[in-house]
A and B are shown apart, each in its own frame.
Chain A
């Protein structure tokens, strides 16, 4: 059985008529890195909440179909069981601070205190995560006196440190500098290789194409594509659904129209694929 299984999932937020998610089927295996793409309002965050138990525990509303995450059924189990297995990094990096801690270091340790981790191990784990997310020089600073990107790194570190079996990330690099985003993708990819299961909503298709195993494209709450990065991001329908494509795909499309892209090649989604295609043309 897959680690995450959604069958025929439909969800309405309270007091709304149209569903935020509709007839969704999804299976995710252990250790897989699945990215979710979609326009604003497509349902990416809603799906993140569903997989991490915040729907239906925090956001009420109406959930139909079946959900099973690491063997837990959210309609039967409490949020506590979820939080131990599934970590969620929220979309808004500015309101994820616990509010009772004075330093970034203490803030990151907060989740471990709640899990009842022994202080010696706690320090080891916090030190490691601080290094991975490159915030060593901030560790004695107040979590409020930070730049936007620094706050987002702290939010990410605070969940990573808890080592959940499934990690759900809702646009975790939106405030990060370009190379910093790439580093975060790498860190997360490494965790997937070590067996952590990753679900990530993201607009940065350039990096999604490099790092994700599979991509789910959502539009108005429905799955319109599910497959490898090339299958999904190369598909010609994406722009109709308001989903961005990388400059590599864009430029290859323009080149194809101008007869400057090898006809039998599919649309490139990464820099390497793009370079190979144009090299053929130049040669």
Chain B
């Protein structure tokens, strides 16, 4: 399921021009991270994918669907969207109901719902919290519930807005595993993140935004090399890349293992 965004412009009702002509294509099975400074328009951009926002001008296509002609509910068959703020996403009384809500509204068969819900709870390690009220969980776990509720919808495209905020090392590990397993099953994964190390270690392509525009777009190893461009949108290079640069490495590295390899060879 390819995504095509062409010349997308969006202004909020209060007049803020949040997107000033964004053109991006994301083919099926991509593993893409979107980074950029606060207020760059990342959230605004992905809210166009599931129709929560409609283009002021320009075009957004999900597969053969033009989002202007589809309802949000219809688009939910193709796009699962994890909100930046879990409080805006969760509304059920128990974790289990929350995870069931998506596949139920999409009209899946009972057996399939059962299987999907189980799998989602398993991946997010929420089993023992299944009967708790999401509001009683800590913010980090609420985000995990939000994630599970989208996984259970089994959409070909999964969009995550800041999945790692407030998560500890163990949970970030878990999120990495989820991202890899989605990727392994051929789905498109798009994540917005400020955690550039997480991004470098788990994604293949990086889109960098600044003030409503895309300023860089390419494979991770190329994008992380652009120190100045990244800095102009308040993003830093990954820690490993900075370290390698200080040590005068001639190749760009951004993963600990690659660093050790290059160090060993030199």
Contact = CB atoms under 8 A, between A and B. Distances in A.
9 contacts: A41-B138, A45-B138, A179-B37, A179-B234, A243-B169, A247-B238, A247-B243, A250-B256, A275-B247
Q: Name the residue in A45, A141, A278, A281 with the highest tally of chain B Cβ atoms < 10 Å from its Cβ.
A: A278
Nearest to B12: A145
Contacts of B256: 247, 250-251, 254
Contacts of A248: 239, 243
Interface residues of A, number: 51
A203 interface: yes
A175 B195 CA distance: 10
Given A150-B39, A175-B38, A178-B234, A251 B260 contact: yes
A180 interface: yes
Interface of A: 38-41, 45, 91-92, 94-95, 141-142, 145-150, 153, 171, 174-182, 203, 206, 239, 242-248, 250-251, 254-255, 258, 260, 271, 274-275, 278-279, 281-282
Given A40-B140, A149-B39, A258-B264, A271 B234 contact: no
Interface in B132-159: 138-141
A146 B14 CA distance: 11
A180 B35 CA distance: 13
B234 A177 contact: yes
A275 B231 contact: no
Given A41-B140, A145-B16, A271-B243, 6 more contacts: A148-B84, A206-B239, A244-B168, A255-B260, A275-B246, A282-B247
A148 B247 CA distance: 36
A247 B247 contact: no
B139 to A, nearest CB: 6
B16 to A, nearest CB: 7
Interface in B219-266: 231, 233-236, 238-240, 242-243, 246-247, 256-257, 259-260, 263-264, 266
A282 B266 contact: yes
A260 B256 CA distance: 13
B257 A254 contact: yes
Range class of the B interface residue count: 35 or more
Contact of A148 (B14, B38, B141): B38
A73 to B, nearest CB: 28
B165 A175 contact: yes
B2 interface: no
B196 interface: yes
Q: Which of A153, A171, A175, A245 has the most CB of B within 10 A?
A: A175
Interface in B16-67: 16, 36-39, 43
Contact of B240 (A95, A174, A178, A251): A251
Contact of A177 (B165, B169, B194, B242): B194
Of listed A92, A206, A279, residue having the most chain B CB within 10 A: A92
The 5 A-B residue pairs with the shortest CB-CB distance, nearest first, are: A149-B38, A244-B169, A247-B239, A179-B234, A177-B234
B204 interface: no
Contact of A40 (B39, B85, B141): B141
B263 A255 contact: yes
Given A178-B196, A203-B166, A244-B169, A254 B37 contact: no
A271 B16 CA distance: 39
B87 interface: yes
A260 B260 contact: yes
A283 to B, nearest CB: 11
Contact of B162 (A91, A148, A181): A148
Contact of A278 (B12, B169, B233, B263): B263
Contacts of A142: 14
A182 B240 CA distance: 17
B123 interface: no
Contact of A180 (B37, B243, B259, B264): B37
Nearest to A243: B169
A251 B259 contact: yes
A188 B140 CA distance: 25
B243 A251 contact: yes
B180 interface: no
B87 A175 contact: no
Given A150-B38, A258-B264, A91 B246 contact: no
B130 interface: no
Interface string B58-81: 000000000000000000000000
B139 A179 contact: no
Given A150-B39, A175-B194, A281-B263, A275 B140 contact: no
